[in-house]
């Protein structure tokens, strides 16, 4: 076991949670309080360049702190003058690293779906996930940002008794400010680079139109559809233009397309989101209300599908 820390905080690393192209995430414990945390670590320089993605994520998360659907930041730093100091072994070398110490969360919702015997989630569970995700995106958008990578793999729940039914949006590495600090909207760029995950981005993103809050919500519609049905119809399509065409067909008529496999409530929600124009400010409360029928009499604090051995999802396919 290795120890990293500063004069104020000391953490004991207990194991690796996961890793990818942008670093590693470790499970650790705060020595003072015994609180469990997740520590995201990334070499400060990769191929000779400072990695800006994690520095951006740190700044955005700090600005959004206090909102219930944003990961709680405990410490962060990107050099030896900031409040978390340490080194990480990379092969036989030692590199100064970037750190983000955050609340420990559940496995992501995409993996919770995969764990289901029928590879999908029940309606009331998905309805509550969607309502909470809408609230999360509202808070991000009101903060002046768009997420640009909304998908089941970037949604988790807390793990404590107080937070286990509170959805949290994660991975702010692709976030972009769409409003200035004075609240005015930034002008759209004539052409934007592709940002996001092909499976979930809106048609506007395929067309390289600058993203806005509506595009985050379109990604949420596709995410919810995948959770409800199991897979998206373009899952195995390779070419981006062909994926775009499949999305156009789905949006053409939700009652006759792949969306017809869902319920009326979700189809109405999808139509409302698809009708949002570039730059239009969404009515988040109205979108949440469209999902009320799906949720039924379930409360946000009631058990979700994975807490009931996926009973609702299994019964839904019989």
Residues 6+ apart with CB under 8 A from 275: none
In sequence order, what DSSP letters do the residues of 144-202 get, joined into one string? TEE-S--SGGGEEEB-STTTTT-EEE---TT-EE-B-TTSPBPPPPSS----S-TTT--
Helix H or strand E encompassing 295: helix 292-295
Helix 213-229 with 123-142: angle, nearest 10 deg: 160
Helix 264-274 with 213-229: angle, nearest 10 deg: 160
For the question of residue 149 being annotated catalytic, the response is: yes
Rounded Cα distance, 251 and 230, in Å:
18
**Residue owning tokens 């559809």:** 225
Looking at 149, 171, 216, 305, which residue is catalytic?
Answer: 149
**Residue 59 known to bind ligand:** no
- To 5 degrees, how large is the angle CA 153–CA 156–CA 161? 160
Helix H or strand E encompassing 273: helix 264-274
Residues 6+ apart with CB under 8 A from 113: 119, 120, 121, 152, 226, 227, 230
Binding site per annotation, positions for ATP: 40
Give the residue numbers annotated as catalytic, written as ranges. Answer: 149
């Amino acid at each position: 076991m290795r120890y990293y820390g500063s004069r104020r905080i000391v953490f004991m690393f207990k194991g690796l949670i996961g890793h990818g192209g942008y670093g590693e995430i470790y499970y650790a414990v705060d020595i003072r309080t015994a609180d469990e945390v997740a520590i995201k670590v990334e070499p400060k320089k990769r191929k000779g360049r400072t990695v800006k993605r994690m520095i951006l994520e740190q700044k955005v998360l700090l600005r959004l702190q206090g909102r219930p659907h944003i990961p709680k930041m405990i410490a962060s730093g990107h050099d030896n003058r900031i409040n978390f100091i340490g080194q990480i072994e990379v092969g036989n070398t030692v590199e100064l690293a970037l750190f983000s110490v955050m609340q420990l969360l559940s496995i992501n919702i995409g993996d919770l779906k995969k764990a289901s015997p029928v590879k999908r989630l029940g309606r009331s569970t998905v309805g509550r996930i969607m309502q909470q995700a809408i609230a999360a995106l509202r808070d991000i958008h009101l903060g002046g940002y768009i997420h640009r990578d909304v998908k089941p793999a970037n949604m988790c729940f807390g793990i404590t008794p107080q937070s286990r039914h509170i959805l949290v949006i994660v991975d702010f590495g692709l976030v972009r400010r769409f409003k200035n600090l004075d609240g005015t909207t930034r002008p759209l760029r004539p052409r934007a680079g592709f940002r996001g995950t092909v499976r979930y981005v809106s048609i506007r993103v395929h067309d390289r139109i600058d993203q806005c809050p509506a595009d985050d919500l379109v990604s949420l519609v596709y995410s919810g559809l995948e959770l409800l049905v199991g897979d998206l119809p373009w899952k195995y399509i390779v070419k981006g233009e062909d994926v775009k065409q499949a999305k156009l067909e789905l949006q053409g008529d939700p009652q006759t397309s792949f969306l017809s496999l869902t319920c009326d409530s979700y189809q109405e929600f999808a139509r409302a989101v698809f009708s949002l124009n570039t730059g239009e400010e969404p009515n988040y409360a109205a979108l949440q209300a469209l999902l009320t029928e799906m949720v039924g009499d379930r409360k946000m604090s009631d058990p979700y599908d994975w807490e009931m051995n996926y009973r609702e999802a299994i019964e839904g396919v019989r």
